[in-house]
């Protein structure tokens, strides 16, 4: 998918003219650094992929850097792969839309102080709201929600791209990381794992909020988004690294996994999924992270089939 960019060529290459909102009393607002002024006041743009909130996944509210007005909620943030933080909704009417002077794009600004935030795009089909507020990190100040309790799960079900794709869409999942587990080589590379000599499985480590989603719900989705009857393969991917395996961290996770397997077996499935105590998890190379979000493609060896 081709994305429209937040970047403004004129703001990067020319010296902009400050358009002062006469209703704004700067003494009431946070002092800005020269770089913050370049973006917030002079309508500049961060270089894509450099903002601190681009891949940020904490829970809380994103406020205006200049006046601290609440603008976006973390629940509305999604990874569009564009290089800037993306939100499919704004808080109340605190974000104002203004047509660019060239009439080609729609700028978004803080309704309270007029701070430049970025641009808004519609019709890209990223979420059900079909809206992408493309925002400069430097225009935002994050206010975290009270500290939440998190738990960890690790699932292997073939190519970790597809495993991550489904798990990272679940509300309550704080973070997902494709990686390698279950082998006997420290810090293996993708090439080493693919050789089949290290003993590792391609897997996904899931950090989740148990108050929002349970381990059992995640495990059910895991079994419903791959074929747990296949041995050392998943669809066209063949090899021990593509095996179906749950790596548990405590006896409760083990009990839940084994109980779900019994349910599936009672339904006639010959489940090949192993249930194994978790060992060291090695995060995969960066180009494997958020693969389907970054490429806009769909999983080729994973699909959802209701089993419970």
| Catalytic residue IDs | 134, 159
| CA 150 – CA 172 distance, rounded (Å) | 9
292 three-state secondary structure = helix
| CA 74 – CA 283 distance, rounded (Å) | 25
Q: At what angle do helices 251-266 and 215-224 cross, to 10 degrees?
A: 40
| CA 151 – CA 213 distance, rounded (Å) | 10
Neighbours of 31 (CB within 10 A): 9
Judge contact between 302 and 158, C-beta under 8 A: yes
Half-sphere exposure for 212 (CA within 13 Å, toward CB)? 14
Q: Which residue has the tokens 């489904």?
A: 166
Closest CA to 198 of 254, 272, 275, 279: 279
| CA 286 – CA 158 distance, rounded (Å) | 18
């Amino acid at each position: 998918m081709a994305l429209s960019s937040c970047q403004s060529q004129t703001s990067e290459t020319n010296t902009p003219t400050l358009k002062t909102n006469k209703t704004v009393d700067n003494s009431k607002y946070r002092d800005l650094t020269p770089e913050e002024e370049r973006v917030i006041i002079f309508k500049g743009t961060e270089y894509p992929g450099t903002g601190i909130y681009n891949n940020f996944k904490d829970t809380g509210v994103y406020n205006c850097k200049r006046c601290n007005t609440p603008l976006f909620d973390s629940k509305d943030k999604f990874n569009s792969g564009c290089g800037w933080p993306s939100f499919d909704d704004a808080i109340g009417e605190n974000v104002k839309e203004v047509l660019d002077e060239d009439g080609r794009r729609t700028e978004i600004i803080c309704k309270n102080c007029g701070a430049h935030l970025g641009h808004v795009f519609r019709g890209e089909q990223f979420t059900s709201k079909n809206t992408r507020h493309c925002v400069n990190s430097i225009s935002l100040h994050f206010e975290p929600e009270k500290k939440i309790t998190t738990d960890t799960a690790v699932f292997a079900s073939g190519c970790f791209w597809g495993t991550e794709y489904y798990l990272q869409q679940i509300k309550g999942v704080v973070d997902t990381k494709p990686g390698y587990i279950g082998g006997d080589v420290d810090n293996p590379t993708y090439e080493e794992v693919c050789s089949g000599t290290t003993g590792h499985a391609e897997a996904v480590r899931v950090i989740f909020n148990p108050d929002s989603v349970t381990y059992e719900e995640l495990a059910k989705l895991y079994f419903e988004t791959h074929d747990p009857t296949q041995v050392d393969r998943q669809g066209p991917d063949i090899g021990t690294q593509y095996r179906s395996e749950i790596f548990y961290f405590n006896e409760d996770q083990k009990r839940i996994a084994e109980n779900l397997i019994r349910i599936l077996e009672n339904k006639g499935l010959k489940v090949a999924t192993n249930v194994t105590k978790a060992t060291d998890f090695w995060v995969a190379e960066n180009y494997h992270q958020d693969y389907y979000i970054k490429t806009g493609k769909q999983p080729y060896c994973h699909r959802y089939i209701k089993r419970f």
